[in-house]
């Protein structure tokens, strides 16, 4: 009797754990990240994959931690600094524990924006030229 009772408990636990729904929508993120590390030359595909993960998870309001920040950093690297700041702020508001890192990322992005606007405001005669040797 005791053996049947133990088997029944184990079967019930297995059944219950199989029905548990994930708290976040990862949308096969681990495989997409693996593919990116395996073939870094397909960076644009990885960025598109991140955007798809965000779109899928936002519809169900179950955005995983770090996705906004990673997508924001991809935008930052590609030069789209203003949109990157938006995603850093989304990560910061969704995940308060990321506040310190996101503040630093936002600060770095604002410095980069200031540098870009300073370069753009220089006239062609004001820009430094190379000195021939």
Instruction: Find the CATH number of the domain harbouring 41.
Output: 1.25.40
Does 60 map to a domain? yes
- Confidence at residue 93, expressed as pLDDT on a 0 to 100 scale: 96
Closest CA to 26 of 76, 81, 66, 78: 66
Summarised one tens digit per residue, pLDDT across range 23-54 is 888 888 989 889 989 999 999 999 999 999 99
- The residues, any chain, with a CB within 8 Å of residue 82's CB and separated by 6 or more, are 113
Domain count, the chain: 1
Q: Which pair of tokens denotes residue 58?
A: 């936002």
Domain residues for the domain of 90 are 33-118
- The residues, any chain, with a CB within 8 Å of residue 78's CB and separated by 6 or more, are 47
Q: How many CA atoms lie within 13 A of 100 on its CB side?
A: 1
Does 22 map to a domain? no
- Confidence at residue 96, expressed as pLDDT on a 0 to 100 scale: 94
Q: How far is CA 102 from the centre of its chain?
A: 12
Summarised one tens digit per residue, pLDDT across range 68-105 is 999 999 999 999 999 999 999 999 999 999 999 999 99
């Amino acid at each position: 009797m005791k053996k049947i009772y133990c088997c029944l408990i184990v079967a019930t636990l297995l059944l219950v754990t199989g029905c548990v729904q994930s708290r976040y929508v990862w949308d096969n993120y681990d495989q997409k990240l693996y593919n990116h590390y395996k073939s870094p030359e397909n960076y644009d595909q990885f960025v598109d994959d991140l955007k798809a993960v965000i779109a899928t998870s936002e519809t169900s309001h179950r955005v995983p931690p770090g996705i906004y920040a990673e997508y924001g950093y991809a935008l930052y690297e590609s030069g789209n600094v203003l949109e990157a700041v938006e995603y850093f702020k989304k990560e910061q508001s969704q995940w308060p524990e990321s506040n310190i890192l996101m503040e630093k990322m936002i600060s770095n992005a604002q410095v980069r924006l200031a540098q870009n606007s300073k370069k753009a405001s220089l006239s062609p005669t004001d820009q430094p030229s190379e000195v021939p040797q």
